Chains A and B, each alone.
Chain A
């Protein structure tokens, strides 16, 4: 990469961090948000605002780098931290915890939320931690609801199916230009 392109990518990373990522506090939210900007068929990232200010290539590479950094942060989090990040993420997307856990255990959406070309062992470690974090969280919910009817603790009376909920959550991932999760 020539020096000019390198500088452009650096500026794009700084710009994106300042305008958008700084308002997304949790690394898990950042990783999922950034993965939603990637075309799964080509692996290329796209963000309207960033592509307006920089070239497509620089914007793509800047987003890839931010995604990589978010992945590193999530993968180096302890289990306790990961559980808390997942709880925070579910709350931010207005998901019911028990539905969230059921869908994440079944669909494993975190598998498509990682950057391409990651070290396979680090990736496997992160997937394993997600699995464990879901088990810990589920166990905590069960203990909390012991002695009370599960429906009153974990479910709202008029729930839609978990898959419907998941689809809605996915669409909720896109933040506004200002960076807030909508």
Chain B
């Protein structure tokens, strides 16, 4: 009996250790931390200002262009439109997934330095990330099988879930927004105009 209790305690201690490895921030050097912070900020910015914007999702998934092309009466052009929109839709899902993974990496390794989240909040966030990644994968299959125009309600759900995660992750690094404007230097900015 004593041995059983001892092994149970060891097992629990091992589980706690594994949980700490996954959830708690790992020690890192300041340079790596800054890189990770900037990368997370970039991921947030891309998601919030581009990928999740209503304008872009409407353009890719709206059937307005399909109606117009169908009215032309050319099956080849309709086929080309469907192939192009499917390609773009898959590209969109892949980019959302990639940026979500970046945020997840930041959350796993660095967020402890910037946000004091409770264990339950951390767990709920991790659950949110994994659910969204799985949902994105399912969405990809759906788009391949049924095309982008039938995936609109699933896209809306993806956008709303991703936006919610962005809000949760974005709070602790909001201070970077003002800095980013100064850090981001487009090639043409400040470039001496050539005669």
Contact B193 A60 (CB under 8 A): yes
Q: Smallest CB-CB separation from A46: which chain B residue? A: B193
* Chain B residues whose CB sits within 8 angstroms of the CB of A60 once the complex forms: 188, 191-193
Is A131 an interface residue when CB atoms closer than 8 A count as contact?
Answer: yes
State the interface size on chain B (CB cutoff 8 A): 34
Instruction: List the B side residues contacting A124 at CB < 8 Å.
Output: 88, 91
Q: Chain B 152-195, CB within 8 Å of chain A: the 1/0 string?
A: 00000000000000000000000000000000001111111111
Total CB contacts across the A-B interface at under 8 A: 94
Q: Does B51 contact A (CB under 8 A)?
A: yes
Contacts A121-B91, A125-B59 given; does A43 touch B187 at CB 8 Å: yes
Residues of A within 8 A of B95 (CB): 120-121
What 1/0 mask marks residues of chain A from 18 to 55 whose CB sits below 8 Å from any chain B CB? 00000000000000000000110011111000010000
Query: Distance (Å) between the CB of B49 and the closest chain A CB?
Result: 8
Contact B188 A135 (CB under 8 A): no
Please give 9 more A-B residue pairs, beta carbons under 8 A apart, in addition to A121-B95, A132-B69, A136-B69. Answer: A42-B194, A43-B187, A56-B193, A57-B190, A59-B193, A60-B191, A79-B68, A122-B50, A132-B81
Contact B195 A119 (CB under 8 A): no
Smallest CB gap from A60: residue in B = B193
Contact between chains at B68 and A78 (CB < 8 Å):
yes
Within 8 A of A (CB), among B80-99: 80-81, 84-85, 87-88, 91-92, 95
Looking at the complex, which one of A39, A64, A76 makes contact with B194 (CB distance below 8 Å)?
A: A39
Chain A residues with CB under 8 A of B88: 121, 124-125, 128
Which chain A residues lie closer than 8 Å to B69 at the CB level? 79, 132, 136
Contact A116 to B80, CB < 8 A, known contacts A60-B193, A122-B56, A125-B88:
no
A-B CB proximity, top 10 nearest: A56-B193, A60-B193, A44-B191, A43-B187, A79-B65, A64-B188, A46-B193, A128-B84, A119-B50, A139-B74
